[in-house]
Amino acid sequence: FLTNIKTSSRNKTSKMTGRKVAFSNVEIIELPYTIGSGPTSGAPVTLGWDLIDRSSFNLDFFEHYRPPRRTKPALRLSAQKRRYLLLKNGHSMNEIESCEMEALRLRKERIMSIRTHRKLHALQMKPVASKAA
């Protein structure tokens, strides 16, 4: 399950209008992982729509006790971790393998498209040789 956190800063003042916005609570919702789509490494993972849990906390309390922010590499899911999350959320190994094959096909298709685009761009950039009469 993934925990999605909605949070904002405590007070913001717009210098142009002088209006203030204040936040006092953080709402955390938990959603299931499900099979997604796209050219990922391993089965694509996305969030499902079925709400698992919802919690609300005072913003000061949340900021004091929340875990440190993760780095970009720490946010990436390996193919093994994707498989584990999908199996844990009720997907069969056949479904997961099928999605892995589709993701691989999409990655290859994207690579071919990029190569084709680069070749066309290179041809457009070549100077045209003038013919002597």
Instruction: Summarize pLDDT for 36-67 with one digit per residue, the tens.
Output: 988 888 899 999 999 999 999 999 999 999 99
3-state secondary structure of 46: strand
Mean pLDDT on 60-79:
92
Residue 47: CB atoms within 10 A of its CB come to: 15
Dig out the tokens for 30 from the structure: 């938990």
Handedness of CA 37, 67, 4, 20 (dihedral sign): negative
State what percent of residues in the chain have pLDDT above 90: 65
Model pLDDT, residue 16: 64
Mean pLDDT on 81-110:
94
Q: Does the pLDDT value for residue 126 go beyond 80?
A: no
Q: CB within 8 A of 55, min separation 6: which ones? A: 27, 28
Residue 6's H or E segment, with its range, is strand 2-6
Residue type at 4? Answer: N
Distance CA 16, CA 129 (A): 58
CB contact at 8 A, 11 and 21: yes
3-state secondary structure of 57: strand
Q: Does the pLDDT value for residue 35 go beyond 60?
A: yes
Q: Does the pLDDT value for residue 115 go beyond 60?
A: yes
CB contact at 8 A, 28 and 5: yes
Helical packing angle, 93-125 and 79-88, nearest 10° = 140
Model pLDDT, residue 11: 55
Band the pLDDT of 3: cuts 50, 70, 90: low
Band the pLDDT of 19: cuts 50, 70, 90: confident
Model pLDDT, residue 132: 58
